[in-house]
Amino acid sequence: MKVGVIGLGYWGPNLVRNFLAQKDVKRVVACDIRESRLKSIKDKFPSAELTTDCNSIVKGDFDIVVISTPVDTHHSIAKEALNSGKHIWVEKPFTFSSNEAEELIEIADRKNLRIFVDHTFIYNGAVQKIKELVDKDELGNILYFDSERINLGLFQRDVNVVWDLAPHDLSIMTHLLAKHKMKALVANGIANFNGKENLAHICIYFEDNCFAHFHVNWVSPVKIRRIIVGGDKKMLVYDDMENFEKIKVYNSGVEFNSAESIHEALVQYRIGDMFSPKVNQTEALALGAQEFILAINENRAPLTSGKEGLEVVRLLEATDISLSNMGKIVELDKAVLI
Amino acid sequence: MKVGVIGLGYWGPNLVRNFLAQKDVKRVVACDIRESRLKSIKDKFPSAELTTDCNSIVKGDFDIVVISTPVDTHHSIAKEALNSGKHIWVEKPFTFSSNEAEELIEIADRKNLRIFVDHTFIYNGAVQKIKELVDKDELGNILYFDSERINLGLFQRDVNVVWDLAPHDLSIMTHLLAKHKMKALVANGIANFNGKENLAHICIYFEDNCFAHFHVNWVSPVKIRRIIVGGDKKMLVYDDMENFEKIKVYNSGVEFNSAESIHEALVQYRIGDMFSPKVNQTEALALGAQEFILAINENRAPLTSGKEGLEVVRLLEATDISLSNMGKIVELDKAVLI
Amino acid sequence: MKVGVIGLGYWGPNLVRNFLAQKDVKRVVACDIRESRLKSIKDKFPSAELTTDCNSIVKGDFDIVVISTPVDTHHSIAKEALNSGKHIWVEKPFTFSSNEAEELIEIADRKNLRIFVDHTFIYNGAVQKIKELVDKDELGNILYFDSERINLGLFQRDVNVVWDLAPHDLSIMTHLLAKHKMKALVANGIANFNGKENLAHICIYFEDNCFAHFHVNWVSPVKIRRIIVGGDKKMLVYDDMENFEKIKVYNSGVEFNSAESIHEALVQYRIGDMFSPKVNQTEALALGAQEFILAINENRAPLTSGKEGLEVVRLLEATDISLSNMGKIVELDKAVLI
Amino acid sequence: MKVGVIGLGYWGPNLVRNFLAQKDVKRVVACDIRESRLKSIKDKFPSAELTTDCNSIVKGDFDIVVISTPVDTHHSIAKEALNSGKHIWVEKPFTFSSNEAEELIEIADRKNLRIFVDHTFIYNGAVQKIKELVDKDELGNILYFDSERINLGLFQRDVNVVWDLAPHDLSIMTHLLAKHKMKALVANGIANFNGKENLAHICIYFEDNCFAHFHVNWVSPVKIRRIIVGGDKKMLVYDDMENFEKIKVYNSGVEFNSAESIHEALVQYRIGDMFSPKVNQTEALALGAQEFILAINENRAPLTSGKEGLEVVRLLEATDISLSNMGKIVELDKAVLI
């Protein structure tokens, strides 16, 4: 296969490196309009080929076009690539609007091409282990999902903190809670500096009484990357800042005895053992690239296809609507969502 | 002074012990209708006197009546005590409604009596240190307040998690951010078990673009008691689960340069030293009891008077309205709030 | 049973409280020459009887004499108590010398009386769980025991840091590694202030190549209470400063393949799951008091008898010899030790 | 300058990369007998030249020879390089014996060549900050140095855990405590697997009552990299596993009042503020390479010269003697040491 990578900013070199390492990939051509970035790629990966001509990739003789440019350019590049018959890999978030995403999905479907949206965390060993635990019903009925992704970070010029950080956690949540139907979203936050929110809280209600909350923040003095999944059998904490015990599964929970007298405590809790499973350390991006190539070869949708990318974009759009109306409730029509 | 303590449940014995230790207090009479609780008090504090007759306290020859009963009984006991000329100490939350609180404040004002609402954390060494840092403008302009109080705990029969846990953090926030006017409140959450919310997120908007968020949760596998106060000069984290370094002040922050080209990053952050001040370890309840007695002697309002108690009750009421309407925005009329 | 408690300093009130709570105990008489301490006991435990006359206990009508006085007085009080037919409970360390300990054991044996040495940690839920894991061979062959007990603490006037802190860890080690024969001891340390060591490291060699190390320190800026037990199947860490996950068992280890070429790595390690078992939270002292009473009733040695106390005293004596000779090797004749 | 790097194992690629980045360095030639390693260097650093001929470096036209081969080969390669007029950079530990080190130092002195021993941690931002604090007398008189470097790691075939891990901590200690004269060393440990110690404790006595302890361990379930420096004014903890607050300086300490009555506590401690200074994040190896080139240009010894390397080798030799005699005391003749 021949892969063209467009956009060599922060994440681009990782994409070049990982596609170079795929055994099905014969050539990788890296493209950016900035010469300094091309030089840096040449120094690090001498076997990669280089170009400043984006068109030569989009219209050239490639199997896969990897789009790692600012989000507002995703749609036009992706559309051209699909129209000239390429499978596309698009960085998160998929597009700037759900209309754009829907159009790309429609084109790909029509031309039988594959879209891979790079929700990298879905291929992370810890998330895969959690998915396994959820699917095996180890946690029981899921009561809530709570995510915190905060630190002191460089502001994005073009998007707010939600579009920058929340795609990670929204994609993890939709992956883990695929069986639960979302009902409504409420988002609150502030923009202290440049009119773009630098801190936000997103709450999502589900039809079955499950609940999700996300805290994203660019102005925290401490770095926290933590997800709690609370089930009625077990609960787990995924702390990505831990070097070793990233996932802790607590055999603790709440027992509700509805038959008891209302004069007594109706709910009890139990504290039990804790278990921290070993987590696969393989680089998530390597597994993502592998899944994409496999999906192309098997003529099927990858795990994180356009559909999954669209769902996250819809949640981001709903968040923006709610944020700009001080926490207004936005109904999520699940029928539309999938 | 002569003190009567009504209600000897979880917190009652601490109240008895701390009033017994005040040098201005000559007698403490403890009251509960359950004999087992009276026996337990007798074993631990033989110098306390005991009674099962609540009326003998409310109408008797006492200076102070301490009300540590379920919240739905606060108003009636407090009203009787005030009407028979007692200063009152009321456990948090002050009352079940703002109407009740307003009535008690009106009676106390008319009869020149003192109301102390037991927002204990205001007398905690860590909170006092943070207040000092905020008031000395060490943190600069406050951007946001974020609080998390979650663990696996016994459910309250009579109230939801908000009325149980949030008064702590709401009182800390109103104390620290007294200069900032609140504008609106949005609360989201779920009730997984008995119709009372066991998990909730409260967001508060301020008129000056400050923002506050509170997470309270009875069904978390891990215990977190953490407050972040983000200022534009410094930021601090107060972690009440730390045995030693409870407060960490980060000389880190965000620098916004509006004059720069829009093609460059407009916002930069700096990472600097961290400082953990020594925190006074005196029991907060002892300092609270001392403040109340001093306020009575000096004929002035205590630090946590009925007014502060009322403000928290209004926020709890607003939270309930928002929660029961899936995150509906509730305007907070600050003129009313104080 | 009738229990007399002599010495009401730091630990004495805990002893009074726990013996009062034993259902086989009808009366507890507390004794100290300082009136202030007696008053404090009276305030806290009104059902305890009081005396300043130590002799009235030692020679009076008691079943058990509890000796919680400075270590240099243990022997004389204990001897008198045994000679007048009492079972004795002695705080750690048992005696100031092994000769003293041997004499007390001899008297007790002759008169068929029980000696309980208060190595409280043996009754701690975490240590009991570790003992269970070791005895069930969960860890495999024990390679080493490593203990750290350091913090900034008040200096003892009469003993060095070893006699103050190390009895805890030495008793835990001899309990866990009861099957391993000790061979020699080396201790190093310094006395920076008053001629008594304030920091020491003790190393113990075993006949079967097992090894133990202990770090005790009164002048550390941080508080660490940590034991590592390394086995060739699993390894565990017991961190007593953790509020929740006190024991972590690592399914990790070292695999030695002696058959491999010497040009290849001979030893590999594997990283596996981690498991944190629930630990019994019952107060250790309550379980200790219960065990002593049971041992008396069943006419058998308690789990921490004079023999176990003597073994720790011998290790303390050996440590002093080594320390005062700058780390000289002291042979431990195990035949003598038990 | 022209640099030849011999030995491209674990650390070699870092050396190649850092010398390539020095602006005074025009050419870097990398040498190893294994073709696979040369290929790996070529892929990563296309501007490096390659050879399998070690002699072409040692005897060729180079300014600096970097020796990153197994320790038992250091002396012969270094001697040849010095004899053909090269400045040499030698990985730690400097040599396999002090005799070897002395010979190399003698040759270099005679030929006015520079020796750099790669005790990288001396150029680490955290260690530099600690050195600054010690030299400014912020900690007061140093009471003790305590180091722990333990984890589950691959065993070295050719050396024990002391020669593998302790050079880091021994070099940090001799750097920080340069004013303190060492007096004697005691080392204890075990070899559970292949006859080489996998766990060891080293204690060092100083003439002025200062004390140092080192714990190195290849078979620990947890990874600890922690140094405590205890002074009589302040104490600090350097935790290299912390992502952010690597150094914590505690304004806590011990106050000894010798005039007080012996019936009172003679020693008190105070708990004060804690301070965590910002640490320079520059890669230590880059600063080391820079220092070496500067030392050559300025015709002076680098910060970590042969002398510092020799001192560490002598301590390693003393450790081996003590270890193989079950903790025998080894006198350190400081006059010889420097």
Assess contact for B152 and B220: CB atoms under 8 A.
yes
- pLDDT tens, position by position, A32-51: 999 999 999 998 888 999 99
Q: Please report the number of interchain residue pairs, chain B to chain C, with beta-carbon separation below 8 angstroms.
A: 14
Residue keyed to tokens 């459910």? B155
The pLDDT score that the predictor gives to residue A334 is 53
Give the separation between CA A328 and CA B325, rounded to whole angstroms: 11
What does chain D come to in residues? 338
The DSSP bridge pattern shows strands B219-231 and B142-152 to be: antiparallel
What share of chain A has pLDDT > 90, as a percent?
A: 86
D250–C201: do the CB atoms touch at under 8 Å? no
What share of chain D has pLDDT > 90, as a percent?
A: 86
Residue A77 has pLDDT above 50, yes or no: yes
Q: Based on the domain organization, do C105 and C127 belong to the same domain?
A: no
The pLDDT score that the predictor gives to residue C90 is 98
The pLDDT score that the predictor gives to residue C260 is 45
Residue C178 has pLDDT above 70, yes or no: yes
In a domain, C87, yes or no: yes
Give the separation between CA C249 and CA C228, rounded to whole angstroms: 10
Give the separation between CA B240 and CA B57, rounded to whole angstroms: 36
Q: Based on the domain organization, do A220 and A93 belong to the same domain?
A: no
Last residue of a domain, one of D64, D80, D113: D113
Give the separation between CA C239 and CA C226, rounded to whole angstroms: 5
- To the nearest whole angstrom, how far is the Cα of D22 from the nearest Cα of chain C? 35
In a domain, D295, yes or no: no
Spell out where chain B has E strands: 2-6, 27-31, 49-51, 64-67, 87-91, 115-118, 142-152, 182-190, 199-206, 211-217, 219-231, 235-239, 247-250, 253-256, 267-270, 274-276, 330-331
Q: Is D193 on the interface with C (CB under 8 A)?
A: yes
Q: Looking at residue A33, which CATH number applies to its domain?
A: 3.40.50.720
Give the separation between CA D14 and CA D44, rounded to whole angstroms: 11
Residue keyed to tokens 């008396």? C296
- What are C309's two structure tokens? 């106390």
Candidate from D46, D222, D244 with C-beta closest to A46: D46
Q: Based on the domain organization, do B180 and B323 belong to the same domain?
A: yes
Q: Based on the domain organization, do D17 and D129 belong to the same domain?
A: no
- Tell me the ipTM for this assembly: 0.93
Q: Chain A contacts of C244, Cβ < 8 Å?
A: 274
- What are A269's two structure tokens? 């809790």
Give the separation between CA B265 and CA B268, rounded to whole angstroms: 7
Q: Based on the domain organization, do D202 and D104 belong to the same domain?
A: no
In a domain, D171, yes or no: yes
Residue A181 has pLDDT above 70, yes or no: yes
In a domain, D202, yes or no: yes
Rounded mean pLDDT of D124-137? 97
Place C185 in a pLDDT band, splitting at 50, 70 and 90. Answer: very high
Q: Based on the domain organization, do D21 and D162 belong to the same domain?
A: no
Q: Is B272 on the interface with D (CB under 8 A)?
A: yes
pTM over 0.90: yes
The pLDDT score that the predictor gives to residue D44 is 84
CA atoms B236, B242, B246, B251: torsion sign = negative
- pLDDT tens, position by position, D216-257: 999 999 999 999 999 999 999 999 999 889 999 999 877 766
Residue D336 has pLDDT above 60, yes or no: no
Q: Based on the domain organization, do B41 and B178 belong to the same domain?
A: no
Place A264 in a pLDDT band, splitting at 50, 70 and 90. Answer: very low
In a domain, C297, yes or no: no
Question: Among candidates A35, A76, A31, A38, which has minimal Cα distance to A56?
Answer: A31
- pLDDT tens, position by position, C196-220: 999 999 999 999 999 999 999 999 9
C275–A271: do the CB atoms touch at under 8 Å? no
CA-nearest residue of chain A to C277? A273
User: In this predicted structure, which of C166-175, C260-269, D144-153, D203-212 has the lowest mean pLDDT?
Assistant: C260-269
The pLDDT score that the predictor gives to residue D257 is 61
The pLDDT score that the predictor gives to residue B334 is 53
- What are C181's two structure tokens? 């024969």
Q: Which residues contact D46 (CB under 8 A, 6 or more apart)?
A: A43, A46
The pLDDT score that the predictor gives to residue C263 is 40
**Any bridge partners for residue D89, and if so which?**
D66, D116
The pLDDT score that the predictor gives to residue B264 is 47
What does chain B come to in residues? 338
Q: Based on the domain organization, do A109 and A229 belong to the same domain?
A: no
Rounded mean pLDDT of D294-305? 98
- To the nearest whole angstrom, how far is the Cα of A251 from the nearest Cα of chain C? 9
Residue C293: C-alpha distances to residues A158, C89, C298, C310 (Å): 74, 10, 9, 21
Query: First vs last Cα of chain D: how many Å apart?
Result: 31
The pLDDT score that the predictor gives to residue C193 is 85
Give the separation between CA C220 and CA D237, rounded to whole angstroms: 9
Produce one character per residue of A8-27: b if its CB has 16 or more CB atoms within 10 Å, e if not.
Answer: beebbbebbbbbbebeebeb
Spell out where A191-258 has E strands: 199-206, 211-217, 219-231, 235-239, 247-250, 253-256
D223–A241: do the CB atoms touch at under 8 Å? no
Q: Based on the domain organization, do C77 and C145 belong to the same domain?
A: no
- All partners of chain C with 3 or more CB pairs under 8 angstroms: A, B, D
Assess contact for D206 and C208: CB atoms under 8 A.
no
Q: Which residues contact D147 (CB under 8 A, 6 or more apart)?
A: D169, D172, D173, D212, D213, D214, D215, D226, D227, D228
Give the separation between CA C267 and CA A160, rounded to whole angstroms: 51
Q: Looking at residue A193, which CATH number applies to its domain?
A: 3.30.360.10
Q: Is D61 exposed, middle or buried, given 0-12, 13-18 or 19+ CB atoms closer than 10 A?
A: exposed
Q: What is the span of the domain harbouring residue D221?
A: 122-281+313-337
Q: Chain B contacts of C241, Cβ < 8 Å?
A: 243
The one-character DSSP state at A155 is P
In a domain, B185, yes or no: yes
Question: Among candidates B131, B170, B74, B116, which has minimal Cα distance to B290?
Answer: B116
What share of chain C has pLDDT > 70, as a percent?
A: 94
Give the separation between CA B135 and CA B176, rounded to whole angstroms: 8
Last residue of a domain, one of D113, D135, D170: D113
The pLDDT score that the predictor gives to residue C254 is 75
- Half-sphere exposure at residue D243, Cβ-oriented, CA atoms within 13 angstroms: 8
Q: Is A239 on the interface with C (CB under 8 A)?
A: no
Question: Among candidates D291, D336, D309, which has minimal Cα distance to D108?
Answer: D309
Q: Based on the domain organization, do D170 and D246 belong to the same domain?
A: yes
The DSSP bridge pattern shows strands B27-31 and D64-67 to be: unpaired
Q: What are phi and psi of B256, to 5 degrees?
A: -110, 125
The one-character DSSP state at D73 is G
pLDDT tens track of chain B, all 338 residues? 999 999 999 899 999 999 999 999 999 999 999 999 999 998 888 889 999 999 999 999 999 999 999 999 999 999 999 999 999 999 999 999 999 999 999 999 999 999 999 999 999 999 999 999 999 999 999 999 999 999 998 777 789 999 999 999 999 999 999 999 999 999 999 999 878 999 999 999 999 999 999 999 999 999 999 999 999 999 999 999 998 899 999 998 777 665 444 444 455 677 889 999 999 999 999 999 999 999 999 999 999 999 999 999 999 999 999 999 999 999 997 545 54
Give the separation between CA D114 and CA D1, rounded to whole angstroms: 14
In a domain, A293, yes or no: no
Q: Which residues contact D264 (CB under 8 A, 6 or more apart)?
A: none
The pLDDT score that the predictor gives to residue B256 is 64
Q: Based on the domain organization, do D72 and D168 belong to the same domain?
A: no
Mean per-residue pLDDT over chain D, rounded: 93
The pLDDT score that the predictor gives to residue D23 is 92
The one-character DSSP state at B46 is T
Question: Among candidates D333, D320, D334, which has minimal Cα distance to D97?
Answer: D320
Which helix (DSSP H) or strand (DSSP E) does residue C67 occupy? Answer: strand C64-67
- pLDDT tens, position by position, A275-293: 999 999 999 999 999 999 9
Place A155 in a pLDDT band, splitting at 50, 70 and 90. Answer: confident
Give the separation between CA C131 and CA C236, rounded to whole angstroms: 12
The pLDDT score that the predictor gives to residue B253 is 78
- To the nearest whole angstrom, how far is the Cα of A210 from the nearest Cα of chain D? 35
Q: What are phi and psi of A216, to 5 degrees?
A: -120, 140
Split into its structural domains, chain C has a count of 2
- pLDDT tens, position by position, D261-273: 444 445 567 788 9
Candidate from C46, C223, C243 with C-beta closest to B46: C46
Q: Is C190 on the interface with D (CB under 8 A)?
A: yes
In a domain, B298, yes or no: no
Which helix (DSSP H) or strand (DSSP E) does residue B287 occupy? Answer: helix B284-297
The one-character DSSP state at B181 is P
User: In this predicted structure, which of B123-137, C260-274, D144-158 has the lowest mean pLDDT?
Assistant: C260-274
Tell me which amino acid residue C246 is: K
Rounded mean pLDDT of D138-167? 92
Question: Among candidates A166, A167, A176, A168, which has minimal Cα distance to A145?
Answer: A176
Assess contact for D61 and D279: CB atoms under 8 A.
no
Last residue of a domain, one of C113, C141, C160: C113
Q: Based on the domain organization, do C92 and C167 belong to the same domain?
A: no
The pLDDT score that the predictor gives to residue B210 is 96
